[in-house]
């Protein structure tokens, strides 16, 4: 059956001398695997639309297994991402995180919109650290993780100073600090941003200016939470961490 869908290429794999297998995250069907025959040839009509991060329309012959890409119409190549090593590293981590977090053919229009807006913000040179943190916080529910972000995870209080507790799965207030000797004593600015990132509609994101030390706290907290609960070991994250160290030197 021929299906037309709106999608973003999240993974590519060379197959033979001239073909590619691509994973496309689509608005209509979720993640679809497709064979793009001849896509490695420079003059192929499928060459451009089968590149990583490409956003477009795809006409695919679907069946029980791997689909076959028949035609593609590019909407955006996400050119800025391709031309900047830092943007490429961050975007690669984002699509890898999504790819490893979802099964084939599970429709989720909200997640498609999140992916598109995230890559589009990066392509438009919005702060890549903050955009990535927002995406990570939004992906927690997709992974079946629900940290307590609107109140103390122990006593339920919504007032006071807060820290982040990996063990208690969320925020804890100053009255409960002694109950977790391993809590992360991050600044209240970081706490407010973690809450914001978890709940915000990414389409309504305005201008956000975050201090470097706050960014480090956010990165450390989110990374530790993922390491504890997600079960994911992504090569793209390790590469991103190396890129971040290089970026901090510049």
Q: Where are the domains of the chain?
A: 2-144+230-249
Q: Is the pTM of this model over 0.85?
A: yes
Averaged confidence pLDDT in the chain: 95
Provide the Cα torsion 154, 158, 161, 166; round to 10°.
Answer: 40
pLDDT, residue 245, reads: 75
Integer Cα distance of 93 and 243 in angstroms: 12
* 196 pLDDT above the threshold of 70: yes
* 244 pLDDT above the threshold of 90: no
Are 13 and 40 in contact by the 8 Å Cβ rule? The answer is no
pLDDT, residue 42, reads: 84
Range 2-144+230-249 has CATH code 2.40.50.140:
yes
Per-residue pLDDT reduced to its tens digit, 65-118: 899 999 999 999 999 999 999 999 999 999 999 999 999 999 999 999 999 999
Integer Cα distance of 247 and 74 in angstroms: 31
The most distant pair of C-alpha atoms in the chain lies apart, rounded to whole Å, by 66
Long-range CB pairs of 146-153, under 8 A, 24+ apart, other chains included: 147/171, 147/198, 147/225, 149/194, 149/195, 149/198, 149/199, 150/195, 150/199, 152/176
135-150 average pLDDT score: 98
**Residue ranges with strand state E in 106-218:** 162-165, 170-173
């Amino acid at each position: 059956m021929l299906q037309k869908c709106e999608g973003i290429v999240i993974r590519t794999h060379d197959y033979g001398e001239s073909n590619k297998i691509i994973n496309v995250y689509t608005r209509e069907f979720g993640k679809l695997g497709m064979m793009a025959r001849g896509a490695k040839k420079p003059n192929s009509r499928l060459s451009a639309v089968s590149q990583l991060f490409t956003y477009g329309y795809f006409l695919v012959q679907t069946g029980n297994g791997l689909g076959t890409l028949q035609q593609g119409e590019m909407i955006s190549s996400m050119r800025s991402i391709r031309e900047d090593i830092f943007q490429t590293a961050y975007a690669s981590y984002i699509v890898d995180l999504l790819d490893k977090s979802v099964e084939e053919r599970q429709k989720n229009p909200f997640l498609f919109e999140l992916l598109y807006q995230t890559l589009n913000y990066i392509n438009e040179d919005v702060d890549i650290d903050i955009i990535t943190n927002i995406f990570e916080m939004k992906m927690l529910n997709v992974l079946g993780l629900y940290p307590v972000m609107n109140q103390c995870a122990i006593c339920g209080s919504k007032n006071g100073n807060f820290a982040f507790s990996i063990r208690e799965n969320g925020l804890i207030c100053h009255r409960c600090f002694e109950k977790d000797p391993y809590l992360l004593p991050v600044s209240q600015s970081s706490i407010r941003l973690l809450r914001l990132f978890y709940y915000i509609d990414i389409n309504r994101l305005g201008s956000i200016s975050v201090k470097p030390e706050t960014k480090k706290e956010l990165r450390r907290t989110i990374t530790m939470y993922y390491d504890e609960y997600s079960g994911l070991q992504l090569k793209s994250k390790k590469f991103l961490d190396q890129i971040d160290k290089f970026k901090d030197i510049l």
